[in-house]
């Protein structure tokens, strides 16, 4: 009898268990308005937001809109989101692309960011049994984390590089947790790609995309930018997973040293006017509001007519003359306060004028044959003598221009050099023949 009673109670317990399981499966799900179960607890997070909630865009990493799932609400300059504990990471952006200006070297936190929800479940630390170590306690849950994209430029305002004739700066992009939710060692599920497009400026090289694989200073990526502005507001269009923003670059004005030509005849045979102008970064003249002194430095053999210039108010340019000397290249430097500019000028050998002088000397010596009584057989000798005399006269003329203030046109131009050579050749050959004739006469 006792054996049958045990069987009865066992059968009854099994039947009750099956009925309870069937009732649980048949029970309808709770309505959406009821509180979620502890495993689906909702965490309310908030952040600064100075725009309308309608301008908020919330997407998961696949680009799917999840604004309805997180129910954004605006609360006195901040936005709060209802984030379920099992929610995957998502991105918060603005519907409109914000424009910011990079005017200082301070790191800027760009709008938008990546939200990593907290983990409620504690992770067990598994230790192999063969190690003989007692199991470690489970890891604590990880709080929610905000990851923000940052940008930094140095130097800013961008400085002019006279060697490359471009403005230079270096941009650094990084991903950093916010101070309120910093978690060391936080990892990214996938790298953050940053693409930069140009608007209102040009560069010599195409800007490559940047990939940031983890948060922190050590994982920042840099971009060297040598650029020329084309508009008053050169802009970088930054597009990334975390943030879409337009960054306006600021650059310093500069001095442009503008010679009339990049080369001139050396040996003091040329004079050139050089203009020094203050211009905006995009190349437009920039007038000064008060008298501005410009210090000049000439690196090379040349002589300026002034050691200092002065740009008058409501003007943007001043000029000076530079005279060549020797054949070495020279560099003209102009400095006005923190602004500077330079230009290089080549000094060339006066092949044209000296060739014209030699031809003129040969023709001058040859013309001696037409003088009455001249011997026709001495033509080759007269040509040689005319060339030699013209060369000596040309060198004397170059020295005279430099030291005796003779007119520069006498030897600096082809026409003047030809005339100088022809006259010196004719007169010089005549003098040489007279001297030779006197020397050949018998003494006494």
pLDDT of residue 242: 86
pLDDT of residue 36: 43
Domain 254-348, CATH: 2.60.40.10
- What are residue 298's phi and psi, to 5 degrees? -110, 115
pLDDT of residue 197: 95
377 to 68, 143, 380, 411: CA distances (angstroms): 113, 112, 8, 32
With CA atoms as reference, report the closest residue to 279 among 225, 332, 339, 226. Answer: 339
pLDDT of residue 27: 46
pLDDT of residue 92: 87
Report the C-alpha gap between 271 and 288 in whole angstroms. 28
Going by the DSSP 8-state scheme, the letter that residue 185 receives in this structure is T
pLDDT tens, the chain, 444 aa long: 444 444 544 554 444 444 444 444 444 444 444 444 444 567 777 777 777 788 888 888 888 888 888 888 887 778 888 877 667 788 888 888 999 999 899 999 898 888 877 665 555 556 566 666 666 565 555 666 788 899 999 999 998 988 888 999 999 999 988 755 555 556 677 889 999 999 999 998 899 999 998 888 888 999 999 999 999 999 999 999 888 999 999 999 999 999 999 999 888 888 899 999 999 999 999 999 999 999 999 999 898 988 789 999 999 999 999 988 888 999 999 999 888 889 999 999 889 888 888 888 888 877 766 665 556 556 777 778 778 888 888 888 777 766 556 677 777 788 888 888 888 877 877 777 677 666 555 554
Report the C-alpha gap between 137 and 125 in whole angstroms. 7
pLDDT of residue 1: 46
399 to 25, 258, 348, 349, 408: CA distances (angstroms): 114, 29, 17, 15, 11
pLDDT of residue 369: 67
Q: Give per-residue burial for 103-130: e unless 16+ CB within 10 Å, then b.
A: eeeeebebbbbbbbbbeeeeeeeeeeee
With CA atoms as reference, report the closest residue to 242 among 182, 194, 209, 207. Answer: 194
**Long-range Cβ contact pairs of 213-219 (< 8 A, separation 24 or more):** 213/188, 214/175, 214/187, 214/188, 215/147, 215/174, 215/175, 215/176, 215/177, 215/186, 215/188, 216/174, 216/175, 216/176, 217/174, 217/176, 219/174, 219/175
Q: Start-end ranges of CATH 2.60.40.10 in the chain?
A: 254-348
Report the C-alpha gap between 386 and 432 in whole angstroms. 10
pLDDT of residue 67: 84
Degrees, nearest 5: CA angle 377-382-383: 115
């Amino acid at each position: 009898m006792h054996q049958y009673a045990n069987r009865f109670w066992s059968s009854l317990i099994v039947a009750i268990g099956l009925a309870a399981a069937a009732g649980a499966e048949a029970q309808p799900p709770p309505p959406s308005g009821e509180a979620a179960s502890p495993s689906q607890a909702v965490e309310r997070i908030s952040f600064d937001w100075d725009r309308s909630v309608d301008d908020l865009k919330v997407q998961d990493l696949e680009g799917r809109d999840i604004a309805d799932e997180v129910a954004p609400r605006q609360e006195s300059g901040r936005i709060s989101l209802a984030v379920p504990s099992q929610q995957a990471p998502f991105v918060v952006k603005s519907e409109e692309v914000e424009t910011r200006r990079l005017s200082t070297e301070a790191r800027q936190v760009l709008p938008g960011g990546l939200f990593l929800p907290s983990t409620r479940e504690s992770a067990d630390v598994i230790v192999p049994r063969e190690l003989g170590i007692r199991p470690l306690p489970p890891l604590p849950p990880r709080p929610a984390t905000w990851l923000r994209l940052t940008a930094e430029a140095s130097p800013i305002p961008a400085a002019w590089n006279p060697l490359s004739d471009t403005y230079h700066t270096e941009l650094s992009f990084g991903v950093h947790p916010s101070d309120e939710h910093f978690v060391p060692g936080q990892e990214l599920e996938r790298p953050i790609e940053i693409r930069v497009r140009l608007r209102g400026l040009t560069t010599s090289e195409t800007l490559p995309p940047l990939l940031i694989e983890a948060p922190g200073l050590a994982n920042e990526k840099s971009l060297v930018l040598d650029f020329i502005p084309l508009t008053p507001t050169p802009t970088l269009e930054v597009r990334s997973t975390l943030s879409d923003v337009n960054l306006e670059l600021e650059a310093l004005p500069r001095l442009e040293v503008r010679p009339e030509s990049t080369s001139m005849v050396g040996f003091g045979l040329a004079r050139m006017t050089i203009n020094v102008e203050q211009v905006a970064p995009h190349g437009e003249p920039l007038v000064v509001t008060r008298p501005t002194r410009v210090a000049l430095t000439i690196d090379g053999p040349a002589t300026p007519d002034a050691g200092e210039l002065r740009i008058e108010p409501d003007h943007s340019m001043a000029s000076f003359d530079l005279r060549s000397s020797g054949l070495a290249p020279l560099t003209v430097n102009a400095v006005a306060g923190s602004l500077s500019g330079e230009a290089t000028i080549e000094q060339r050998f006066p092949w044209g004028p000296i060739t014209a002088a030699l031809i003129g000397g040969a023709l001058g010596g040859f013309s001696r044959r037409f003088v009455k009584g001249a011997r026709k057989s001495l033509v080759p000798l007269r040509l040689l003598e005319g060339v030699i005399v013209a060369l000596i006269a040309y060198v004397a003329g170059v020295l005279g221009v430099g030291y005796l203030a003779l007119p520069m046109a006498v030897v600096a131009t082809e026409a003047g050099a030809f005339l100088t050579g022809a006259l010196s050749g004719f007169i010089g050959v005549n003098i040489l023949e007279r001297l030779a004739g006197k020397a050949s006469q018998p003494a006494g």
